Amino acid sequence: MASGGPNLECRMYESRYPEVDMAVMIQVKNIADMGAYVSLLEYNNIEGMILFSELSRRRIRSVNSLIRVGRTEPVMVLRVDKEKGYIDLSKRRVSEEDIAQCEERYNKSKLVHSIMRHVAETMNMDLEDLYVHIGWPLYRKYGHAFEAFKNVVNDPDTILDALTYEVKETGSDGQEVTKVVHAVTPEIKDALVKNIKRRMTPQPLKIRADIEMKCFQFDGVLHIKEAMRKAEAAGTDECPVKIKLVAPPLYVLTTQTLDKEQGISTLSKAIVACTEEIERHKGKLVVKDAPRTVSERDDKLLQDVMDKLRMNNEEKSGDEDSEEEEDTGMGDVDVENAGFHD
């Protein structure tokens, strides 16, 4: 940070220190003779210590197997000496429930902190000032500023325009008066809303199911195409269903939606419709992987497989005219020309 610039370092919460028996997120900085020195990530990296006796309920055979420099994890607060700045922590006393709650809170707080820090930097103001007038009041009102920020996505005026604070001024008569002013200026509001919408607008989930579909009857390929149409017809405007051939007899069904349960339900109905149609022609459908959410990495792996298969097919001569494939009813269906879209 350049000299004379805004101070962009600040704790995430209004309290300068955590409460005893509270789970906090730490990062291990150094391992000494008595224990490990750590930084409390939610409290502007103030220092705490975990004694070796507080690492595990079991006998310690290797400290490195329990704690390592650079590791980030939740621990329990045992003692806080605010005057001396000592914070004693325990790893062995934190429960699975504490860990889950701490991780959830920290992930929300980290996102809020990132947005607040970016706005403070953009507006050339101290981060703590932004927290004093905006962040911490939202924590008090909504339980967590993350919940308030979620509402800002759709209704910024109601959330941000309600924030005020008092300032004392000297009137024309020399008397001190208290004045209520808006905490969020139009410039800060614009910067906040843009950052919040960019970072917190819900992204659609991709739901995928993998199936195997075969039909050995005459015109089996046509029956498979019709079953694919039935699957896509089961989709809705909110959850459109797409089906794609990977390599005979493997197909994938996908949909995108903000509602995970709705997406899984829609794909399940599409599989039922597809199954009924192919079985009507004595074909068979087997679900290899039930509908579930998939990541961008999963999508990339699938695309890599499809690209590799496509290249292999292009290298083989006469694939398009293979009578054997046509007879089996499992040939390489031209999904695009059959009326299906990627």
- CB-based contact 73:59 (threshold 8 Å): no
- CB-based contact 24:50 (threshold 8 Å): no
Q: How far apart are alpha carbons 49 and 86 in whole angstroms?
A: 8
Which pLDDT band holds residue 62 (cuts at 50, 70, 90)?
low
Q: 205-312 belongs to which CATH class?
A: alpha beta
DSSP class of residue 333? -
CATH architecture for the domain at 102-200: Orthogonal Bundle (1.10)
Distances, alpha carbon 252 to alpha carbons 237, 267, 290, 304, in Å: 19, 10, 10, 14
How many Cα atoms are found within 13 Å in the side-chain-facing hemisphere of 220? Answer: 22
Residues whose CB is less than 8 angstroms from the CB of residue 255 and which lie 6 or more positions away in sequence, other chains included = 206, 207, 235, 239, 240, 241, 242, 263, 266, 267
Among 86-100, 104-118, 309-323, whose mean pLDDT is lowest?
309-323
Distances, alpha carbon 248 to alpha carbons 221, 285, 293, in Å: 11, 12, 23
Higher pLDDT: 18 or 203? It is 18
Residue 169's Cβ-count burial label (10 Å; 0-12, 13-18, 19+) is exposed
Among 58-72, 89-103, 230-244, whose mean pLDDT is lowest?
58-72
pLDDT one-digit tens code per residue, 188-238: 999 999 999 999 888 789 999 999 999 999 999 999 999 999 999 999 988
Which pLDDT band holds residue 61 (cuts at 50, 70, 90)?
low
The correct CATH number of 23-91 out of 3.20.20.70, 2.40.50.140, 3.40.1440.10, 3.30.70.20 is 2.40.50.140
Question: Per-domain residue ranges for the chain?
Answer: 23-91, 102-200, 205-312
Prediction pTM value: 0.64
The mean of the pLDDT values for the chain is: 88
Which pLDDT band holds residue 309 (cuts at 50, 70, 90)?
confident
SS3 category, 208: strand
**pLDDT at residue number 328:** 39
Q: How far apart are alpha carbons 77 and 91 in whole angstroms?
A: 9
pLDDT one-digit tens code per residue, 123-170: 999 999 999 999 999 999 999 999 999 999 999 999 999 999 988 888
